[in-house]
Structure 1
Amino acid sequence: MDIKQLRYFLTIAEEGQITAAARRLHIAQPPLSQQLKLLERELGVKLVERGPRHIHLTDAGEILRTRAEQILELSDSTINEIDDFKKGLNGTLSIGMVSSSGALLIKNTLSKFHEEYPGVKFSVQEGNTFKILELLNRGIIEVGIVRTPFKALNCNCKHMVKEPMIAAMTKKYSSDLEGIYISLKELNGKPLIFYRRFEQLIMDTCTESGFKPEVFCKNDDARTTLMLANAGFGIGIVPKSAFELSRNENLIYKEIKNEKLETSLAAIWIKDRYMSSLADKFIKFFN
């Protein structure tokens, strides 16, 4: 089994047809079918079920698809890393970032880094903190941008300054909330929308404030929180810097005065692993 076979198999899985996969790969159909048969013979399992129009992956095929994606991502990342080594500071830096980091990262780090090193390009993967940590551990990305709190004992870490959480809402939820700051307790009885990763923190902090929150929606993206709040479904709780990430023309926000709900962005990278000069320079700009 080699990289070429895995690329062939993954293309077949993505297209659902050997004919379409062959067309995408710019090869004839018979050689592609033969490669699939050779792969099944080598592994000793059936990878696909052939139907009249489409093929479907078997359980073994699904396992191979997941592993093939990981192997090919790592292969591509390795090639880019070696290429970057040859080019110096004129290559591609692979980073991962949580959705709520975008506005602050672009303003404080990416813009300044690009101004200093205009020849550097980026490959960006987005996801929640758990996905970013997985990508780091698999070597797909060199640097992850995540939000506190998180656990990553095998990582080095560099933090930005802390920022408050805000309550983003339409006017119908703000009539009894005066000033630009509010306490968490003032949200008692109001429908809340928040990022699932902050669920335990928000629930515990509400309990400490003496109430059980009314949760309208938990989700996996700060932008979803803001979109739902902008549509009037409830009050979105997000880091302050995330406010500009999504539509907010109907929203106002108030800072939540509670130190336990403060958060910060952090750049993380695996301890004792080779780091490219691009990644090293990028981390120095992270502040």
Structure 2
Amino acid sequence: MDIRVLRYFLAVTREESISGAAESLHMTQPTLSRQLMDLEEEIGKKLLIRGNRRITLTEEGMLLRKRATEILDLVDKTEAELMAPDEAVGGDIYIGGGETDAMRLIARIATDLQKSCPQIRYHLFSGNADDVAERLDKGLLDFGILIEPADMKKYDYIRLPATDTWGLLMPKDCPLASHSVIRPEDLWELPIIASNQTMVSNEFSGWLGKDFEKLNIVATYNLVYNAALMAEEGLGYVLTLDKLVNTSESSNLCFRPLAPKMEVHLDIVWKKYQLFSGAAERFLRTVQETFSSFSG
């Protein structure tokens, strides 16, 4: 499977037409059509449904689009690392993380390192622990910021000197907003918007004293911004970490912590036996110098 042809395939999925993709690739339409037919023949599966107005994807085509994007991201990342100049520390660093105020710690390191290594560029990916771990495992990220609990068997890590606090995000005019804290029994009958992170439910089951799945979960989220909009419109109450959503006087939302308090630690992680670029190696060394004394 030719990398060049994968780029052609992604161009067609982006433009939704052979002619549009051919124009963007500066090649003739018959040549592009032939390349795509050869790709389908090589794979032995139909990838494209050629309609009158636009091209759509078969199930196999959708899978190839996802994998091709990951493959080409990794190819581009590798090329950038290999072509980085030897005389100066520069290149690309790929960091993924969930929504957490602790990302400020990483931002401070990046800012300080930028002063001595201005040729380093940072690429940020936002997602929950499952999303970040998947991209780490595929080599698409150098580092991840994971919120505990997380499966750490495949990673080396340093614990960050920060904790996040779980609580409930809700409109300021709802009855629970008058409470200073939220207790387990307060949640049992509420419509809940919950994180879909795999390992979170076990932690909450212990705090609740009952199976987390028995709550009235009306929606799940992986990033909290859209969940906050749902809460603001009255769909439910968001179980989330503090400091991720604006709850200032200008906001219609407020945050109330859980009681007993439920705090989580955060780790910066990387794959065991990872071979780093010069830029990523320099970044890791700075992280270790800054945070190793706090590691658990």
Q: TM-score normalised to the size of structure 1? A: 0.83
Partner residue in 1 for 2:148: 148
Partner residue in 2 for 1:164: 165
Map 1:1-287 onto structure 2 (within 5 A): 1-84=1-84, 86=86, 88-98=88-98, 100-101=99-100, 103-105=101-103, 107-118=104-115, 119=118, 120-160=120-160, 161-169=162-170, 170-174=172-176, 176-177=178-179, 179=180, 181-197=181-197, 198-207=200-209, 213-244=215-246, 249-258=251-260, 261-283=262-284, 284-285=286-287, 287=291
Q: CA deviation at 1:188?
A: 4.4
Q: CA deviation at 1:59?
A: 4.5
Q: CA deviation at 1:155?
A: 0.8
User: Are the aligned partners of 2:142 and 2:276 in contact in 1 as well (CA < 8 Å)?
Assistant: yes
User: Are the aligned partners of 1:230 and 1:248 in contact in 2 as well (CA < 8 Å)?
Assistant: no
Q: CA deviation at 1:274?
A: 0.2
For this pair of structures, how many residues does the alignment match?
281
CA deviation digits over 1:64-87, x for unaligned, max 9? 333322221110111122234646
Q: Could you tell me which amino acid in structure 1 is paired with residue 81 of structure 2?
A: E
Q: CA deviation at 1:270?
A: 0.4
Higher helix share: 1
Task: Return the alpha-carbon distance in structure 2 between the equivalents of residues 10 and 129 of structure 1.
Answer: 27
Task: Return the alpha-carbon distance in structure 2 between the equivalents of residues 133 and 45 of structure 1.
Answer: 30
> Kindly, what percent of the aligned residue pairs are identical?
26
Q: Could you tell me which amino acid in structure 2 is paired with residue 13 of structure 1?
A: T
**Structure 1 residues 20 and 239: alpha-carbon distance in aligned structure 2, compared to 1, 3 A threshold:** same
Task: Return the alpha-carbon distance in structure 2 between the equivalents of residues 240 and 168 of structure 1.
Answer: 9
User: Are the aligned partners of 2:164 and 2:265 in contact in 1 as well (CA < 8 Å)?
Assistant: yes
Task: Return the alpha-carbon distance in structure 1 between the equivalents of residues 174 and 42 of structure 2.
Answer: 64
Q: SS of 2:78's equivalent? A: helix
Q: SS of 1:49's equivalent? A: strand
Partner residue in 1 for 2:294: none
Q: Which runs of 5+ in 1 are unaligned?
A: none
Q: Could you tell me which amino acid in structure 2 is paired with residue 257 of structure 1?
A: A
Q: Which runs of 5+ in 2 are unaligned?
A: 292-296
Task: Return the alpha-carbon distance in structure 1 between the equivalents of residues 130 and 36 of structure 2.
Answer: 34
Q: TM-score normalised to the size of structure 2? A: 0.81
Which range moved further: 34-43 or 136-145?
34-43
Q: SS of 1:228's equivalent? A: helix
